[in-house]
């Protein structure tokens, strides 16, 4: 089986029956943040040098606790015409203040961008955000929304499309001395330097990237965040074969 996701025309021929897996936080992020992840690398068309330090590869390489299976289930679900309706219902049920797409994975094509835009439009009281290296896509359907923050990430194939004077952006640095004027250094990196890497910050005592563009709960600002490189957080890119899509329902079951 190919390691690449199916094209949009191929996806249209699939009838998939698969449930979405949406988690509330993780070991680093508050439960106030709902997380939706996709398979790493195979859904990252803008990936570049970031592949040499991608921390999201580690769970898939190590096959931790069903993580690869969960990510592939979400990918197959995202191809369905019912994806928007199902995501809206999942996010409402979860009750999180924010929804983050892609701790792993990225915007893999334009149709998927449009689906995320439709989800956010139907949930105007929820704030959405993501980091992306897919600047070759038209991100206007997301950036034009008052409840969606798009943070463009350096380290990919389309860095030249990032305007550091205007765009929300992030980059990975190897040393604190590389931090530029006006950039915010993620406190998780500082904690790692001080030996307190088990402390939680995102959504707890730091909301810098969780910008609320609609209200004054978080003062609007251009996000310029630097992440310290996690030297021990990556263990290679020998990813397992992609999981196969779920089988279609048996004949006669589609109208039931």
Task: List pLDDT tens digits, range 126-181.
Answer: 999 999 999 999 999 999 999 999 999 999 999 999 999 999 999 999 888 999 99
CB 60 within 8 A of CB 71: yes
Q: Kindly tell me if the per-residue pLDDT of 15 is higher than 60.
A: no
Q: First vs last Cα of the chain: how many Å apart? A: 31
pLDDT confidence of residue 1: 34
CB 96 within 8 A of CB 30: no
Q: Kindly tell me if the per-residue pLDDT of 39 is higher than 90.
A: yes
CB 78 within 8 A of CB 37: no
How distant, in Å, are the alpha carbons of 36, 156, 249 from that of 64?
Answer: 17, 26, 29
């Amino acid at each position: 089986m190919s390691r690449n996701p199916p094209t949009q025309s191929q996806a249209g021929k699939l009838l998939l029956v698969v449930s979405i897996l949406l988690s509330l936080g993780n070991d680093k992020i508050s439960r106030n943040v709902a997380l939706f992840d996709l398979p790493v690398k195979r859904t990252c068309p803008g990936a570049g040098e970031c592949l040499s330090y991608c921390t999201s590869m580690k769970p898939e390489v190590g096959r931790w606790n069903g993580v690869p299976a969960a990510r592939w289930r979400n990918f197959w679900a995202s191809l369905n015409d019912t994806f928007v309706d199902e995501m809206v219902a999942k996010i409402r049920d979860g009750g999180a203040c924010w929804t983050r797409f892609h701790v792993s994975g990225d915007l893999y094509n334009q149709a998927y961008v449009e689906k995320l835009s439709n989800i956010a439009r139907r949930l105007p009281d929820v704030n959405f955000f993501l980091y992306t290296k897919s600047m070759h896509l038209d991100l206007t359907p997301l950036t034009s929304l008052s409840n969606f923050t798009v943070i463009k990430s350096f380290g990919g194939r389309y860095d030249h499309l990032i305007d550091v004077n205007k765009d929300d952006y992030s980059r990975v640095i190897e040393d604190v001395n590389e931090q530029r004027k006006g950039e915010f250094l993620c406190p998780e990196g500082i904690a790692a330097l001080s030996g307190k890497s088990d402390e939680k910050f995102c959504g707890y005592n730091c909301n810098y990237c969780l910008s609320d563009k609609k209200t004054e709960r978080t003062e609007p600002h251009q996000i310029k965040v630097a992440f310290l490189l996690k030297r021990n957080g990556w263990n290679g890119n020998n990813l397992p074969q992609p999981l196969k899509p779920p089988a279609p329902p048996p004949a006669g079951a589609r109208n039931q």
